[in-house]
Chains A and B, each alone.
Chain A
């Protein structure tokens, strides 16, 4: 381990809105260490507290308890304008009465730089997002994607230690969003800045992040690399939220054995006592069609995707099952098949 302090440390942070009986706990004892130059993502469904955590770091909300440190120094008592972080707002929040150049120069002017220096660095920031040609336009004369770029340039211009981004791409259409994802990642690498990125889009999180914190109901359920979160979800909720997954309810029937509710008994890494209710999870691409497999099913639908086909199957108890299969030798719709579920591809969650 190195001795350099983390870019951001969030220690046991709790936050409620409202008072007395009407109080709603929005964050409960959240702790995170975010490393320097890390692309860190807060991922979770709407209302889980992502924005609130970001606003606490930026200083727009006050903590109930806990502490927030940047590079080892406490900042949670500082006003927003005293914190070395900048935010890219979900609504972009570009100043409508200022030109693009004036927007980008705003923070630089606050830093008492010389006029020449302000102009030079604002120009640089605009070039970085390829918006130099639009310097004298007003924000209302730009498209959504262009406004997004200006918001990025404005937040990056004063070279903050940390950039906070609240669903910055959610207002863009799919194609533009994919392009901006790549640009964002490049910018982050080039500028060498720590990014704290908020999204409810799991695919976006998996693509961009060095690490992801999956949140639900004001808590961090799992904090890990995208790969670990996809392959070894620590909770049923995480498994369900990230990517496609089959969740099969059943009961532990013996050491390493689970009897599913459809009647089939499968080998699974269950460490619960016999009789315990569990959920067995498997990704659609990890199961396979195999003669003599443990899980009987009936094919109900097939969706051809080019490189693969997604088969929708129905188990004996009517539960659905998704299978991603190679396109060769596909069974017919209505065919009865058996599936092989490799134990190392299974995860077992207590129900």
Chain B
């Protein structure tokens, strides 16, 4: 059956798209609004972008977010890569390990955040980036793991055997065959982990200390003082950075094939 022939398919699709993207479009449009009141349009201006550039709190929060997302992305991707390679072999309890790896996807984040906070307090770890980085790595692992695992499963197992057959030892096989073939998956995994960390509010909110405020935490506290076009501008920048990352990683993955 051809779905396109069904009545109203176009109209419903359009309505869903509008429903999904109208808020984002409104946010972007109002970030170029000169008026102080975020919801009243006066004229086009880049003032708010200039303001966020010179605001030291925003600069610090951006820097913190980028450091955190980079560390979480790299850490989660390395662990996910090791996990995916380990999951190639058969062993007892493999299904359980797989479930544990993906648990952060379904566990309520607030519970994990509170639990982490209590643990860190109990063992005397100071709040701040040192607390946030391991916590972010933990919940980013499944986002990095899934694309790498998918890539590995789609790989012809004969390729690694062929490399060994052609006199490459395990290490050389990994470097010259496995790694290049997994690369698009690794890039996709890193990007997803990076974006997930960048966007995280709950865990960061619970674990941030003085001077380690991230962008989402900053936006949350700023919004309590009222919605300003500044927030629209920051959000737009975050949106552009995330989308640009995902698109770049997608294109890089395409190019390598």
Contact = CB atoms under 8 A, between A and B. Distances in A.
Nearest to A97: B180
B91 interface: no
Contact of B167 (A89, A90, A93, A158): A158
A79 interface: yes
Interface residue tally on A, bucketed by range: 20 to 34
Contacts of A85: 165
Interface stretch (B16-24, B96-104, B154-162): B154-162
Contacts of A60: 161, 164
Contacts of A79: 164, 169
A94 B181 CA distance: 12
A89 B180 contact: no
A80 B161 contact: yes
A110 B162 contact: no
A89 B162 CA distance: 8
A81 interface: yes
Given A81-B169, A110-B172, A95 B164 contact: no
Contact of B181 (A58, A59, A97, A155): A97
A107 interface: yes
Nearest to A111: B167
Interface in A77-136: 79-81, 85-87, 89-91, 93-97, 106-107, 110-111
A154 interface: yes
B168 interface: yes
Contacts of A110: 166-168, 172
Contact of A158 (B166, B169, B180, B257): B166
B127 interface: no
Contacts of A80: 161, 164-165
Q: Which of A87, A106, A111 has the most CB of B within 10 A?
A: A106
B167 A91 contact: no
Contacts, number: 61
Contacts of B166: 81, 86, 106-107, 110, 154-155, 158
Nearest to A104: B166
Contacts of A111: 167
Contacts of A97: 180-181, 256
B176 to A, nearest CB: 8
B256 A81 contact: no
Interface string B121-150: 000000000000000000000000000000
Contacts of A90: 158
A91 B172 contact: no
A118 to B, nearest CB: 13
A91 B156 contact: yes
A107 B176 CA distance: 12
B158 A95 contact: no
A107 B162 CA distance: 10
Given A81-B169, A110-B172, A93 B164 contact: no
Contacts of A89: 158, 161-162
A58 B165 CA distance: 7
Nearest to A84: B167
A87 B164 CA distance: 10
B147 to A, nearest CB: 17
B177 interface: yes
Contacts of B169: 79, 81
Interface in A12-27: none
Contacts of B164: 59-60, 79-81
Nearest to B164: A80
A85 B165 CA distance: 7
A83 to B, nearest CB: 8
Contacts of A154: 166
Contacts of B67: none
A81 B168 contact: yes
Interface in A199-230: none
B227 interface: no
A63 to B, nearest CB: 17
Interface in A150-166: 154-155, 158
B163 interface: yes
Contacts of B161: 58, 60, 80, 87, 89, 93
A97 B159 CA distance: 11
B181 A96 contact: yes
A107 B167 contact: yes
Interface of B: 156, 158-159, 161-169, 172-173, 176-177, 180-181, 256-257
- 10 tightest A-B CB contacts, nearest first: A107-B166, A93-B158, A110-B167, A93-B162, A80-B164, A87-B165, A89-B158, A97-B180, A81-B164, A81-B167
Interface of A: 58-60, 79-81, 85-87, 89-91, 93-97, 106-107, 110-111, 154-155, 158
8 contacts: A59-B164, A80-B165, A81-B164, A81-B166, A91-B158, A93-B162, A95-B163, A110-B168
